[in-house]
Structures are given as structure tokens and as C-alpha cells.
Structure 1
Amino acid sequence: MFNHKIYLVVLALAIFASCKKGDDLGDVSQIPGLGGDTWAGGPIDTWIRDSLTVPYNVTAKYKWDQGVLEFDKTLTPPKEEKIIPVLSSIKKVWIDNYVKEAGKSFMMKYIPKYFVLVGSASWNMDGTITLGTAEGGRQIMLYVLNDFRIKGMTGYVPSDSFNIKQMFHTIEHEFGHILHQTVLYPEEWKRISVGDYISDWNNTTDSSAHEKGFITMYAQSGPDEDFVEMISMMLTEGKGGYESIISSIKSPTGVSKLRQKEAIVVAYFKDVWGISFSSLQTRTRNSIDLLIK
């Protein structure tokens, strides 16, 4: 089973709470998994059933259950008012566009069947946060959903578009892992940046990574992450945003390596999956723009 994580570098101060031996734990019947995690279905459950479960055999867990999360992390549940906007946006930007390009059968076969939704970020000891994880191609866990705001939602401002793009970056990244775990990318990919991958990528910047031929600093962590970061950034930034990154790079070597990687990604989607990456890229970016502009 594969387990992949995508990280965002941030600085923070972690605050932990503890309980004493004599503390009242309350009614343990309300602890998820011990009989207190059942509820009458409501509008959210109906939407999930009609929009995801019936057409794609996909479900989403939004009720709090510490048993499916990391026990060593301080996490918070997602706010219920965020659930439908988040999942509806995921369907429009990710699922619907892949269906239009590759067909419903493709998406039903490869889409993870289980989404776990978390309100806060998952902080790591090295100063990074985990934005999402994918496990064995069956489950995707998404964090930081309580920061999600799109056009029309209370409190939305244009600067929130970063958080929106970041969520779709996470999803496209994790789905990229599912694709390359099914059919591996060409071996020539690993030769482009051989010797340039580093373990302390979080001590660098996106700009310095660009000069070395990586689309993000996280892409420097290894060939697999490099591959899916290219997919994710090219899709979420769109053709214009991606070309803007390329035009900002001063190193001819950095530009050359990114162009080589770009060509491999485009060919991989066409030759392996029969998908026009250019068309998928346009659809994806247009869908994101509709949410934020």
C-alpha cells in the first residue's frame, strides 16, 4: 500500500493540551466507534449520496472520527457549512473535467472511493503541514477545509484564491500518484534531474527550485513527487500561469529541464490514458476561475 503526502512549508507554534488522570471523560457512548457515531441523514448526506455515491460509488466522511486520523496530531473537524461547497467544487473542477476528457468509466475505475475531510491542517515536526494524503488509491484525506471560501460565500476575498488553488493542487497531486502507481511514467523522467533531488527541500524556496528545473520546492524531494507536482501545477495554474513561471526563470538549464518534464507529462497522458492534457488543463483552470472570479 502506498501512502503519499503533500506538504506546504509554514512556520507555527504548536499548542498541546493534556488531561489529568482524574478528569471526567464524559459519556463514552458518544466516542466515535463505540456506538455514539450514528445520526439521522440530512441534506449533506443526501447530497453526497446523489452526487457522489450513486454515480461514482464514492463516499465522504465528514463526521468526526479520531480513529481514522493521526493520533499524534491536534486536528479539528470540518464545519458542516463547508462540506457541500467543498465537495461540489471538487466535483466541478476535478471529477467532471476528467469525465469529459477520459470518460465516466475511467473515473469510476481510478477515483478514490473514500474521502476523509478535516477542518484544520496537520502540523509536522519539521515546520511543514500536511495538506492531503492518498492511501493505496482508495482513500484521500483532505485538510484545512475550514479555510475554504469561494465566490459568493460569506467572507470571501480574492486573496482566498490561494487556499482554493491549494486544495485542488492537493487533489490533482494525489490523483497523479494513483495514475503513476497504475502505469509508471517513462524511466527517462528520472534522468532529467538525477543527482538534484534533496531531503531538505523545505529549507529552499519555489524560486530556487525553478532555477534547478523543479516546478515547486516539494518537487525536489524525489522523482515521484516531481512528476505529480508537474501534473498538479500545470493543471491548477493553467497554461498562462505555468508559462508565467517558466518566463520568470533565469537559468536556461532550469527552463530546459522543465520543458523536458512538461513534454513527458503531456505524452504520458496521451499515450497511457488517451487524454489531451492541454484540453484537461484548460478545462481545469477555467473551472477554478469560475469559483474565484
Structure 2
Amino acid sequence: MALGERDKITGQMTTGHEWNGIKELNTPVPRIVYFFLIAMGGFAILWTVLMPSWPGINGYFRGLLGADQHAAVIQSVEQAQVERASWTSRIDSEDFAAIQADEELMTIVRQTGAALFGDNCAACHGTNAQGGPGFPNLAAAPIMWGDDPEIVAETIRVGINGTSPETRFAQMLAFGRDQMLERADIDAVVAYVETLSQPDLVATADPAMLATGAELFAANCAACHGENAQGMIETGSPNLTDEHWIYGGDHSSIRSSVYNGRIGTMPSWEGRLTPTDIKLLTLYVLDLRASQ
């Protein structure tokens, strides 16, 4: 087919190429395409000249505008620190009660504390602070060393069974593994402890076993959990009579706790978080509890 043949339908010239009877029209590139190519090329050259671009041996071309994102970030951080100082100074200087009574400060606590909790605590205690297997519910369960703000802040600071020389210690003995109690005694204690939080089980339990379990509890467990089994803040031992269980309140979980013992760990946040951050976390956790 000769070049220059005119298509009968469109009236346009063809290129001379044909595939399976389909002829290629010699359609010119739209002028708008050339316009955008030229415009974008000009923009690219202009941007290269104005903004940081080409690398060099000892640096890079910084651009005629002198834009510097590193300096911009530093300036932004400094500005944020100045704005933050307007309320962190109050958090640092005022006591817990005064802050909790100030709704403006508590709004900041809820916003900032949520971010701190999510970054540092949620991995163990959950985003809703309701804990999980092996980690206590901070939103509703009794706090083992007490919910006084100063005590909560101290626990966050030094941790539990951690590396701080001032860390809090809490450990439950392995009564079965270490052969402190016989298997039958462990069964009795477990049966008794189950009824403490589930009184309905008393009706179907063996009275003699419960009596034995109560005696064994008084002799081996009451020193930490209290004679009423409601825990002791002095030792950080949990309440065994409510619905909140760190490792589970079913028969199997309780038996595993009695037989193998338990020892949890909470890191010391001193050195990782500032005193201001620790105070914010304390206020945030206590505010969560108050809203339940």
C-alpha cells in the first residue's frame, strides 16, 4: 500500500501500515500534548533551580530559594516545645488533685496520655487498658498496690520485678512444682479459691474438701492475699474474691497458678519516659478508671 493513501471513511491520510486489514491513520499528535510536555519540562528545570536538587561531591545544590526541610523540622519541634511548655510546667508543678480538678488540664491529659499509653503500655494492657491473659485490667480491676496517684506513679517509675534497684516485687510461689503441697491439697485449695469468686459453686462442692481448702488457704495463702482473700496492697497481691483475674479464673487456670506459681514483669519507665510523661500516664489511667 502506497504512503499517502487517503482513508475513505475519515478522509485522513494513512501511514502505509496495515495489520489484518486494519490501516493505521497518520493522525498528528494533538498540540495540547506538546504544550504539556513543554510546560512540564519548563517546570522541572525551574524546580531544579529553585529547590534543593543535584548532589555534589561535598554536598548538594541547595536551590535559589534556600529551602531546608531539616531546618523546618527543627523549627517546628522548637515551636511545639514552646507551646507544650505552657501546660507541662503546670503538670510538673501542680499536685494530682489540682490537675484532676482542672478540666482544661484534664483535656490535655486525655489527649496526650492516650498517645503515651498507646506507644508504651497498650502492647501489654491493650488499647482499651482492659488487659489480657497475664496482664491486669487497668481500667476496672483493683490496682494491686493501691490507686493513690503517688503510688501509681511510683509503680510506673520503678516497674514490677524489673531492673530498677527500687522495683516492686511480686511473686506467687509454685506450691506444686516445688512440692510444697501434695496434689490432694492443691485440689482442695483450688476448689476453695474457686468458690471465693463464684459462691454458687459451694452448693455442688464437697464440704470436706472446701473445709480442707480453707485451712490450707489460711496456712499458705492468707499471708499475702489476706485472711479474707481480698488481697493486700502492702504485698501487691490480687483480690481473689472478685471477677478480675490476671491469669484466668477458671478451674484450669487457677490450678496452674497454684501449681506452677506466677511472676509477672513490668518494665521500669524511669529513664525511658520523662517525669512529666509518667505523671501524664498516671493521670490518664486514673481518669480511665473514673470513667468506667
Q: Is TM > 0.5 for Structure 1 vs Structure 2?
A: no
Superposition TM-score, scaled by structure 1 size: 0.26
Larger Rg: 2
Superposition TM-score, scaled by structure 2 size: 0.26
